[in-house]
Amino acid sequence: MRLLIIGSLDGQIGAASRIAIERGAKVRHAVTVEAGLDEIRGQGADLVMVDVKCDIRALIEALETERITLPVVACGIASDASAAVRAIKAGAKEYIPLPPDADLIAAVLAAVTEERHSIVFKDPRMAQTLKLAEQVAASDASILITGESGTGKELVARFIHRKSRRADRRFVAVNCAAIPENLLESELFGHEKGAFTGAVARRIGKFEEANGGTLLLDEISEMDVRLQTKLLRVLQEREIDRVGGSQPVKVDVRILATSNRQMEEAVRQGSFREDLYYRLNVVTLALPALRERPLDIPVLAEHFAKRYSESNGLPLRPLTVEARQMLTRHGWRGNVRELENCLHRAVLLAQGNEIGPEAILLSGAPAAGPADPVVAQAAAAAAAVTSGARSPLVGKTVAEVERDLILDTLNAYLGNRTHAANILGISIRTLRNKLKQYADEGIAVPPPAGVEADRATL
């Protein structure tokens, strides 16, 4: 939860910030509406708390003009009823009286989090999975959540946290696949000043950030075996060692982990420690792929159509019967994430009063964009065989075909390593190693995109 506080709040900003931070929020502050808008444009936010003395109407109108969908909560002196009324009429979702009440702020943060991380479903298979998740949520047992990429593993982890006894404490997520190996140890366990070059001050790691709450280790199967050994000790001893530290630090953390791989196979191959697997695997939740829960496809499609219509300032248009049929028949290799992207495109491309088949661009379909390179190459080869022509793959070595496929996929997804690895069905580490090999051979490699580009500079 990223919380932005705008205004002075009559000196109550410190108290409000502390309460929000204790509830797991990352808090930033801006003195004016203009400075707040700059913060939102530059770093984003999940919730804005604004002093009623600020121009709330101007803030909300600016957000609407720029098509930024963001809940705004007004704050002010409890006795100023007229200011509260003006704030609500200006578009604020809630009004919090000052001085701040911890339970009220916690409730507002929880409501916003619930809305952002809600799980939309109708299919009995997903209902059964969530029922089991709720049953085990109250315990402190470690839970392993498995499933293909895009099935909603992190959403289920957040669901478990909300239903647990630790719901009022922090939920901290770490993507083990997205952080380079040499940084992940410090990210998890923290470090002391001078522990290594660049360690100019002590840093608290994710385990200490999540103390008393829940830590999600996303894509844990990508973690280096050396770190797995250290993690196993943490689970056994309930204490961590900061990098460069001399004394262990006690932690009380509930561990959730996710993986899109077959963990038993990773254990057999030696890339994942067997003892750590059994330590984490007290309970396993296996999320079904989207194609295995077809009743969820239309309700998710309507949900995403509504979300992206609102966020882009467009009218809400229903899906036609033909569009629904197209979505239901599709294989959804990228699962819910692929469906979400598809509906985002459809909202932007739709003409008229409905979203029809012409706005539905499916991966692997003739009009899809960006085309899935895996499907495209397979289709081209099949067409060549049918027509009697020689396949374009003939004459190339296996290594050359693999290289072309990896680079084509990476180009199709604008340099996004994570998406490309998911589509190719390989780990992000394997993809990075291949790209390094190609670069060393003098082959041009697409640069990382977005957040990945920022991480690449670390």
User: Tens digits of per-residue pLDDT, 245-271?
Assistant: 888 999 999 999 999 999 999 999 999
Ramachandran bin of 77, using left for φ above 0, alpha for ψ from -120 to 50, beta for the remaining angles = beta
pLDDT over 90, % of the chain: 39
Q: Which CATH number fits domain 291-359: 3.40.50.720, 1.10.8.60, 1.10.3720.10, 3.30.70.1230?
A: 1.10.8.60
Q: Strands 239-240, 249-250: parallel, antiparallel or unpaired by DSSP?
A: antiparallel
Residue 404 has pLDDT above 50, yes or no: yes
Residue 386 has pLDDT above 60, yes or no: no
Neighbours of 167 (CB within 10 A): 16
Q: Please, what is the angle between helix 335-349 and helix 296-311, to 10°?
A: 50
Domain definitions of the chain by residue range: 2-116, 124-288, 291-359, 373-456
Per residue in 88-129, pLDDT tens?
A: 888 888 888 877 777 777 777 766 666 567 789 999 999 999
> What is the pLDDT confidence band of residue 294, given thresholds at 50, 70 and 90?
very high
Residue 18 CA, chain-centre distance (Å), reads: 25
> What is the pLDDT confidence band of residue 427, given thresholds at 50, 70 and 90?
confident
What pLDDT is stored for residue 372 in this prediction?
45
Place of tokens 């140890």: 185
Could you tell me the two tokens for 387?
Answer: 């027509």
Report the distance separating Cα 77 and Cα 302, nearest Å: 40
Q: Strands 47-51, 26-30: parallel, antiparallel or unpaired by DSSP?
A: unpaired
What pLDDT is stored for residue 451 in this prediction?
43
Place of tokens 């085990």: 136
Pairwise pLDDT comparison (194 vs 227), residue with the higher score = 227
pLDDT over 70, % of the chain: 86
Report the distance separating Cα 153 and Cα 219, nearest Å: 10
Q: HSE of 386 in the Cβ direction (CA atoms, 13 Å)?
A: 6
What pLDDT is stored for residue 113 in this prediction?
61
Least confident range from 69-73, 293-297, 325-329, 362-366: namely 362-366
What pLDDT is stored for residue 141 in this prediction?
93
124-288 and 373-456 have identical folds:
no
Residue 382 has pLDDT above 60, yes or no: no
Pairwise pLDDT comparison (17 vs 370), residue with the higher score = 17
Least confident range from 57-61, 267-271, 318-322, 361-365: namely 361-365
> What is the pLDDT confidence band of residue 63, given thresholds at 50, 70 and 90?
confident
Residue range 2-116, CATH number:
3.40.50.2300
- Amino acid, single-letter form, for residue 53: K
Place of tokens 């028949």: 329
Closest CA to 57 of 79, 44, 74, 43: 74
Pairwise pLDDT comparison (2 vs 156), residue with the higher score = 156
Report the distance separating Cα 248 and Cα 131, nearest Å: 38
Average pLDDT, the chain: 83
Residue 35 has pLDDT above 80, yes or no: yes
What is the CATH T-level fold of the domain 373-456, as seen in this structure?
Arc Repressor Mutant, subunit A (1.10.10)
CATH class for the region spanning 124-288 = alpha beta
Mean pLDDT value across residues 301-314: 86
Contacts of 69 (CB under 8 A, 6+ apart): 63, 310, 311
Ramachandran bin of 270, using left for φ above 0, alpha for ψ from -120 to 50, beta for the remaining angles = left
